[in-house]
Amino acid sequence: MLKKIVIIGPESTGKSTLCQQLAEHFETIWCPEYAREYLLTNGTDYGFQDLLTIAKGQIALEEQLADKLEQRAAPLLEQDYDIPYFIDTDMSVMKVWCEFVFNKCHPFIEEQLAKRKVDHYFLCQPDLPWVKDQLREYPDLATREKLFTIYRNWLENQSVPWSLIQGKDTERMQLAVRAVNRILESSYVTDSQ
């Protein structure tokens, strides 16, 4: 079965890079953050309604790529192998984004967050240097640390297991690879008992 591992955290914490590296390492597919494509196409002057559109686009992209991965990995899935599927951002990020910027959240996002299954979250710590790009809004460390605390509090108050990802360069990747291996191993032990 697909093991959905979602990578969340403040901007410029290496989420997309980590997703891509993990997908390459585990020879699987990763789902990019739909918001980047949307904002590059439609501009960065977004409103509350745009976040609902982005949330729906994120879900559609996740499902499209999950279907593609299931087709590609069908022989392994038939043999009860677990295949990691890395997702850069999900409805938890959409919820935080809505509430942080607009002090409210779309009911659709709340509903989807409650019903969509995630196997594990990786929370990226803002310990990497901030890298400017045309979409990033919060260059100051204080804001990124505030957002990190919001994510951490949310993770601590929900039932899906999660891991903190921190460190520089290869250290960060090694930590994530070890965590994925533990997820896959614990799944195998649980399934075989």
Judged by average pLDDT, the poorest of 30-44, 137-151, 178-192 is: 178-192
Q: Print the domain residue range for 60.
A: 2-188
Mean pLDDT of 173-182: 95
Per the prediction, the chain carries an average pLDDT of 91
Q: What CATH number is given to the structural domain containing 90?
A: 3.40.50.300
Query: Has residue 155 been placed in a domain?
Result: yes
Average pLDDT rounded to a whole number, residues 25-43: 94
DSSP state, residue 87: E
pLDDT by residue (tens digit) across 130-165? 887 777 777 788 999 999 999 999 999 999 999 999
Structurally, the chain folds into a number of domains equal to 1
What average pLDDT score do residues 12-32 get?
95
**Considering the domain boundaries, does residue 146 fall inside one?**
yes
Provide long-range contacts, Cβ within 8 A and 24+ apart, for 49-53: 51/94, 51/97, 51/98, 51/101, 51/102, 51/106, 51/109, 52/106, 52/108, 52/109
Mean pLDDT of 168-189: 86
Least confident interval from 29-43, 60-74, 133-147, 166-180: 133-147
The percentage of residues in the chain with a pLDDT greater than 90, rounded to a whole number, is 77
User: pLDDT band at 190, cuts 50/70/90?
Assistant: very low
The answer to whether residue 193 is domain-embedded is: no
Q: Is the pLDDT of residue 189 over 70?
A: no
